[in-house]
Amino acid sequence: MKRIALLIDLPRDARYFDATVEALRHAIDATGADCTIDVVRTDQISEPGAIGDGVVIGPGSPYRDPSAAEAVIRHARERGVPLVGT
């Protein structure tokens, strides 16, 4: 099973938080992909390379830890990890 990391610092009750998670779930269900979604806050990232098999950068900047978000983006770009930014 593949792990998709959703980097999002919005509060869980924010409108775009739910919309982003539901859009990812819809895409997974529609394609039959064998994936899980891990919601990750930027201030929880200790190792950018261990974040998942794919990354979605969610809405809601500024991020709590912009350097951690940049490190994840850099890791994905340099290692061919699928990455989508909203």
The CATH number given to whatever domain includes residue 19 is 3.40.50.11410
Q: What pLDDT does 23 receive?
A: 94
Q: What is the pLDDT of residues 3-60, one digit of tens each?
A: 999 999 999 898 899 999 999 999 999 999 999 999 999 999 989 888 889 999 998 8
Work out how many domains the chain is built from and give that number. Answer: 1
Average pLDDT over residues 50-72: 91
> And the tokens for 9?
């610092």
61-85 average pLDDT score: 93
Calculate ∠ Cα 42-47-51, nearest 5°. Answer: 70
Confidence bin at 84 (pLDDT 50/70/90): very high
Strand order in the sheet with 2-7: 35-40, 2-7, 54-57, 83-85
Domain that holds residue 65: 2-85
Compute CA distances 9 → 20, 29, 30, whole Å.
12, 24, 26
Q: What is the pLDDT of residue 15?
A: 87
